[in-house]
Chains A and B, each alone.
Chain A
Amino acid sequence: MINVQQIKRRFMLHLDPVLLYGLGALLFVSLVVLYSSSDGSWMRVLGQLMNILVAFTALWIVANMPLHWLMRIAVPMYVLGMALLIGVALFGEISHGARRWLNIGVATIQPSELMKIAVPLMMAWYFEKHEATLTWRNHLIAAVLLAMPFVLIVRQPDLGTSILIAASGFYVLFLAGLSWRVMGALFVGALASAPFVWGMLHDYQRHRIMMLLDPSQDALGKGYHTIQGMIAVGSGGFLGKGYMEGTQTHLDFLPERSTDFIFAVYSEEFGFLGNLLLLGIYIFIIGRGFIITANASTYFTRLMAGSITLTFFTYTFVNMGMVTGILPVVGVPLPLLSYGGTSMLTLMLGFGVLMSIHTHQRLVKT
């Protein structure tokens, strides 16, 4: 005799309902906005629904993994990721001027996405291992673990992903107690090396940074994205133009409107009030992430949960900042709203880890 209640309980056993409400709300908004951004195409919505299903399955599986499993896969995953990144650098396929993809026969994959999970996982694992005798050396080694994939991804070049990975790694370092003095020195060092980094950047990256300072400089070229994004957001006004009524969206003025610039679509149609609501949902999710982090029982889980939560925030901030013209256009999607299977999968995996952390220790405690 199959007991429906039992199945439900088993299904929900390692899921966090509070986080699920937040994620569900975001995904619902995503489907609604995608329908508009694709000019009423159900195909787009169904596609995203498929992405959600796949990603949610992954989330469920990860959430059900005991924490020591997570710790066990940290090293192999990192090593695999590094191997693939080196593979990309050597044999990767070039598309749109960047070498990001690796053809592994059955599919083309983007190893940098894997690293978004693998890097913080590896670093958290490393700190956990050396928890008892933590010195500055351990921080240095962790920093090297971060720097290696970072350099490879910057060189692809993929500024968006490398920033997110750097951020996720930095959060681990920070939460692991990186000394303020070192951070201060790093900050000064970063400022000092800025001209040098500038020299290393690709032209298109420099261009994007220049555009940030004055997008109108190149209104039809690189500045076009920013300008049209700002026009969409600004013309939305307080209440928005109404669902499916955004002129910037429906007359093709907004580029990348189902992916990186989906926030402009939302903002144009739902206005300032809509933005408040959306920001509220993100804050709700991030807040829940903080609570989970604060309550995490082990060093590894605290670092991991903190990094995942803060990285999720970074995604959100960088995307909204770039659409509204306070950050350069770096190609970061709006988490869980933008169309796309890969970022959806990575993000949901992260939330899976978060839920696993939360639910497994709960079980341990009780």
Chain B
Amino acid sequence: MSRIVELKDTQREIYFFRLRLFLSLGFVALLFFILLLRFFYLQVIRHDYFETMAESNRIYVVPIVPNRGVITDRNGVVLARNYSGYTLEVTPEKVPDMQATIAEIGKLVEIKPKDLRRFKKLMSERRSLQTLPIRTRLTDDEVARFAAQRYRFPGVEIKARLFREYPFTEVTSHLLGYIGRINQQEIDELEEQEQATNYMGSDYIGKTGIEQRYEAEMHGVTGFEQVEVDAGGRAVRMLSRTAPQSGKNLTLTLDAKLQEIAVQAFGDYRGALVAIDPSNGEVLAYVSKPGYDPNLFIDGIDTENWEALNNSPDVPLNNRALRGQYPMGSTIKPFMALAGLHYNAKMTTREISDPGYYTLPGSSHQYRDWKAGGHGRVDLFKSVQVSCDTFYYGLATELGIDRMHDYLQQFGFGKKTGIDLEGETSGLLPSTEWKMKRYKQIWYPGDTVSAGIGQGYHLVTPMQLAFATATLANDGVAFKPHLVKEIQHPEGEVQIPPQPLYKVDIPAEDLALVKRAMVAVTQPGGTAVGASMGAQYTIAGKTGTAQVIGMKQGEKYDERKVSEYFRDHAWFIAFAPADKPRIALAVLGENAGHGGSVAAPIARKVMDYYLLGKVPTPLKKADEKPGVEND
């Protein structure tokens, strides 16, 4: 009995066991089926997605930054170049404790407080995942020392890079400008211009001057390397490479030596000088004094230097030649003379007797000549030569402001010259319409009187005045002033041709008369007699004095009583040789007093070098004034 029961139990037991085993089999089958579905999902349905993921895992696109174009002067003298060197760069995201890291680095590589200040400034304006230089120009010793300890500094690396350098420093600062680290605003602009990929590896962009204007040419085209990397980011092999195209080199119209001489000639004076070849508009010298060292800006200027530059009363960062707007003073007179001749003004045919002042009909207000007692009998020729104010008060009154405006604008006054630099200002050439628009006021006859001698509302930039002088020198044929002579493409050269703008129609005899008068300015009896003393060529010129503060009726201007920054500006415009001009220029001596005594000698040194190759002996502050105190 018990045997049977036992047997029965065993069979039952086996039955139940096999049932459970069968259930287990179902469980196994179900789970394996789930796995199978998962495989199918990953490997078939979502294969493309994971394929892309795997590719982006292993393939890095590494930008190869092109070499920036080099800038040379017209004779091949290098003005902006690249040199290779090492920097120590930090990726802040990868550095756990910045303070400690910097302290540790400081034990290996010298970090000056200046470097730290600059680094902090960069930190505050950086882009994410950007590497920031904490030290530039490492010595070979420092490179070796750091390299040995590199493993201790995650996120800190040595980079071999090309550095920009401006060997002429402040001499060329205002025309070359500088490059600097790309900021967020510039990134946005690059994205708008669809240039973002081209700047993937670039840290720098032209910020001002030629560097800014010709950014597109000089930057070049970024190359790309597709590299296969392992999980550690180490490049395993190169898959493909698109070579970068170097930026184009620029040859400027500038003559570096001339530029240096011009800067030197200013001595301690502030001011500006623009010299143009009137036959084609090439800018030969472009000075704004004081300048600054553009090299300071490349990797971000440190606060101390920045404040020194920004707070200096001499405003070295102001590009005076391009942006400084000054009353043009008596330099307007040759152009006024031409205007008078153009409109057949009666004044141009007469000889006036100058009492030393001018009064409008029916008014007792006296407009004084700069020379007390007057110049005696004055005709058009003499009016230019001696810079007779009374004559031009009369001429202006006769012409009226609107005719003056219409004629003068042909010489480029009141509008941008179009030179290849950013930020040019347009000066101001007043008219009745302008005054109504600007001040909602009618034009008074008194406004016209002072306008006749370039005071009042008239404002010009040194650039404009140089352009106008060049146009006059070139018999009315105006060329657009430009600084870049040639852009050298990698595959050849492309010349920038002279860009004729237009011709101001001036009858030959009018032109001859005014030019002769301008030559007389630099001859005995003229206001800039010192300018051509001993010159082996003839100089046509015109002096000017721009008043900074107005003088009350009857008050006498005394240079010694006026604070330095309120003294008159000295102007001198000139071209030479007078009969076949090769150079035309405008010189402004800011708060320097009289054109003839300060600005003219500067012009002379520039012309001497340009025309004769004469290098002046280093000059002290231009205080050896010629005998004649005049305007």
A residues apposed to B, CB below 8 Å: 171, 174-175, 177, 228, 230-238, 247-248, 251-253, 267, 271-272, 275-276, 279, 282-283, 286, 290, 293-294, 299, 302, 306, 310, 313, 317, 320-321, 324-326
A330 to B144, CA, bound (A): 45
A289 to B334, CA, bound (A): 114
In the complex, chain B residues 48-67 whose Cβ is within 8 Å of any chain A Cβ: 49-51, 53-55, 57-58
- Docked-complex contact B54 and A175, CB < 8 angstroms: no
- Docked-complex contact B47 and A171, CB < 8 angstroms: no
If A174-B24, A306-B24 touch, whether A238 touches B47 (CB-CB below 8 Å) is: yes
Check if B137 is an interface residue, CB within 8 A of chain A. Answer: no
Minimal beta-carbon separation of B53 from chain A (angstroms): 5
Check if B39 is an interface residue, CB within 8 A of chain A. Answer: yes
Minimal beta-carbon separation of B92 from chain A (angstroms): 18
Residue of A nearest to B38 (CB): A324
Chain A residues whose CB sits within 8 angstroms of the CB of B32 once the complex forms: 279, 282-283, 317
If A234-B51, A293-B21 touch, whether A326 touches B34 (CB-CB below 8 Å) is: yes
- Docked-complex contact B229 and A251, CB < 8 angstroms: yes
- Could you say which of B36, B43, B46, B53 contacts A267, with CB atoms under 8 Å apart? B43
Chain A residues whose CB sits within 8 angstroms of the CB of B282 once the complex forms: none
Using A238-B47, A251-B229 as known contacts, list a sample of 16 further A-B pairs with CB atoms less than 8 Å apart, ordered by residue number in A: A174-B20, A175-B21, A230-B42, A234-B50, A235-B50, A248-B58, A252-B230, A252-B231, A253-B54, A253-B57, A267-B43, A272-B44, A279-B36, A313-B31, A317-B32, A324-B38
A321 to B39, CA, bound (A): 10
- Docked-complex contact A231 and B50, CB < 8 angstroms: yes
Minimal beta-carbon separation of A125 from chain B (angstroms): 17
Minimal beta-carbon separation of A224 from chain B (angstroms): 10
Chain A residues whose CB sits within 8 angstroms of the CB of B50 once the complex forms: 230-231, 233-235
Chain A residues whose CB sits within 8 angstroms of the CB of B40 once the complex forms: 272
Check if B147 is an interface residue, CB within 8 A of chain A. Answer: no
Chain A residues whose CB sits within 8 angstroms of the CB of B496 once the complex forms: none
- Docked-complex contact B54 and A232, CB < 8 angstroms: yes
- Docked-complex contact B43 and A253, CB < 8 angstroms: no
Residue of B nearest to A236 (CB): B43
A82 to B53, CA, bound (A): 47
- Docked-complex contact A290 and B21, CB < 8 angstroms: yes
- Docked-complex contact B47 and A234, CB < 8 angstroms: yes
Contact flags (1/0) for B82-112 with A, using CB distance below 8 Å?
Answer: 0000000000000000000000000000000
Minimal beta-carbon separation of B36 from chain A (angstroms): 7
- Docked-complex contact A294 and B21, CB < 8 angstroms: yes
If A231-B54, A247-B54 touch, whether A237 touches B228 (CB-CB below 8 Å) is: no
Could you say which of B25, B54, B55 has the most chain A C-beta atoms within 10 Å of its C-beta? B54
Minimal beta-carbon separation of B380 from chain A (angstroms): 84
Chain B residues whose CB sits within 8 angstroms of the CB of A237 once the complex forms: 43-44, 47, 51
Closest CB pairs A-B (n = 6): A234-B50, A235-B54, A252-B231, A251-B230, A234-B42, A272-B43
Kindly specify which of B10-18, B213-221, B341-349 makes contact with the partner chain: B10-18
If A251-B58, A310-B24 touch, whether A235 touches B47 (CB-CB below 8 Å) is: yes
A313 to B25, CA, bound (A): 10
Check if B232 is an interface residue, CB within 8 A of chain A. Answer: yes
- Docked-complex contact A234 and B43, CB < 8 angstroms: yes
Check if B308 is an interface residue, CB within 8 A of chain A. Answer: no
- Docked-complex contact A233 and B35, CB < 8 angstroms: no
5 residue pairs from A and B, CB less than 8 Å apart: A248-B57, A252-B231, A276-B36, A290-B21, A293-B21
Chain B residues whose CB sits within 8 angstroms of the CB of A248 once the complex forms: 54, 57-58
- Docked-complex contact A251 and B43, CB < 8 angstroms: no
- Docked-complex contact A310 and B47, CB < 8 angstroms: no
Chain B residues whose CB sits within 8 angstroms of the CB of A238 once the complex forms: 43-44, 47
Minimal beta-carbon separation of A238 from chain B (angstroms): 6
Minimal beta-carbon separation of A276 from chain B (angstroms): 8
A275 to B39, CA, bound (A): 8
- Docked-complex contact A290 and B25, CB < 8 angstroms: yes
Q: How many residues of B contact A (CB 8 A)?
A: 36
Contact flags (1/0) for B490-511 with A, using CB distance below 8 Å?
Answer: 0000000000000000000000
- Could you say which of A236, A251, A310 contacts B231, with CB atoms under 8 Å apart? A251
Chain B residues whose CB sits within 8 angstroms of the CB of A324 once the complex forms: 35, 38-39, 42
- Docked-complex contact A177 and B230, CB < 8 angstroms: no
Residue of B nearest to A250 (CB): B230
Minimal beta-carbon separation of B256 from chain A (angstroms): 53
Check if B187 is an interface residue, CB within 8 A of chain A. Answer: no
In the complex, chain B residues 175-194 whose Cβ is within 8 Å of any chain A Cβ: none
- Docked-complex contact A233 and B51, CB < 8 angstroms: no
Chain A residues whose CB sits within 8 angstroms of the CB of B229 once the complex forms: 251
Check if B77 is an interface residue, CB within 8 A of chain A. Answer: no
- Could you say which of A235, A276, A317 contacts B51, with CB atoms under 8 Å apart? A235
- Docked-complex contact A175 and B42, CB < 8 angstroms: no
A320 to B37, CA, bound (A): 12
Check if B562 is an interface residue, CB within 8 A of chain A. Answer: no
Check if B28 is an interface residue, CB within 8 A of chain A. Answer: yes
- Docked-complex contact B16 and A177, CB < 8 angstroms: yes
- Could you say which of A174, A232, A272, A294 contacts B39, with CB atoms under 8 Å apart? A272
Minimal beta-carbon separation of B615 from chain A (angstroms): 65
A326 to B35, CA, bound (A): 9
Minimal beta-carbon separation of A203 from chain B (angstroms): 21
Residue of B nearest to A286 (CB): B28
A326 to B39, CA, bound (A): 11
Minimal beta-carbon separation of B374 from chain A (angstroms): 88
- Docked-complex contact A302 and B17, CB < 8 angstroms: yes
Chain A residues whose CB sits within 8 angstroms of the CB of B55 once the complex forms: 235, 247
If A251-B231, A253-B57, A294-B21 touch, whether A313 touches B28 (CB-CB below 8 Å) is: yes
Minimal beta-carbon separation of A163 from chain B (angstroms): 14
A294 to B18, CA, bound (A): 7
Minimal beta-carbon separation of B27 from chain A (angstroms): 8
A228 to B56, CA, bound (A): 12
A247 to B237, CA, bound (A): 13
Minimal beta-carbon separation of B19 from chain A (angstroms): 10
A276 to B50, CA, bound (A): 19
Minimal beta-carbon separation of A133 from chain B (angstroms): 11
Residue of B nearest to A240 (CB): B43
Minimal beta-carbon separation of B52 from chain A (angstroms): 8
Residue of B nearest to A131 (CB): B13
Chain B residues whose CB sits within 8 angstroms of the CB of A282 once the complex forms: 32
Residue of A nearest to B39 (CB): A275
Chain B residues whose CB sits within 8 angstroms of the CB of A171 once the complex forms: 24
Chain B residues whose CB sits within 8 angstroms of the CB of A279 once the complex forms: 32, 35-36
Check if B533 is an interface residue, CB within 8 A of chain A. Answer: no
Residue of B nearest to A227 (CB): B53
Minimal beta-carbon separation of A179 from chain B (angstroms): 11
Chain A residues whose CB sits within 8 angstroms of the CB of B442 once the complex forms: none
If A294-B21, A317-B31 touch, whether A251 touches B39 (CB-CB below 8 Å) is: no
Chain A residues whose CB sits within 8 angstroms of the CB of B17 once the complex forms: 175, 177, 302
Minimal beta-carbon separation of B62 from chain A (angstroms): 16
Check if B535 is an interface residue, CB within 8 A of chain A. Answer: no
A231 to B21, CA, bound (A): 36
In the complex, chain B residues 208-254 whose Cβ is within 8 Å of any chain A Cβ: 228-232, 236
Residue of B nearest to A321 (CB): B35
Residue of B nearest to A248 (CB): B54
Minimal beta-carbon separation of B446 from chain A (angstroms): 77
A320 to B33, CA, bound (A): 12
Residue of A nearest to B6 (CB): A132
A132 to B213, CA, bound (A): 100
If A231-B53, A235-B54 touch, whether A306 touches B21 (CB-CB below 8 Å) is: yes
A283 to B17, CA, bound (A): 21
- Docked-complex contact B54 and A271, CB < 8 angstroms: no
Chain B residues whose CB sits within 8 angstroms of the CB of A290 once the complex forms: 21, 24-25
- Docked-complex contact B49 and A234, CB < 8 angstroms: yes
Chain A residues whose CB sits within 8 angstroms of the CB of B35 once the complex forms: 279, 317, 320-321, 324
Chain A residues whose CB sits within 8 angstroms of the CB of B38 once the complex forms: 321, 324-326
Minimal beta-carbon separation of B58 from chain A (angstroms): 5
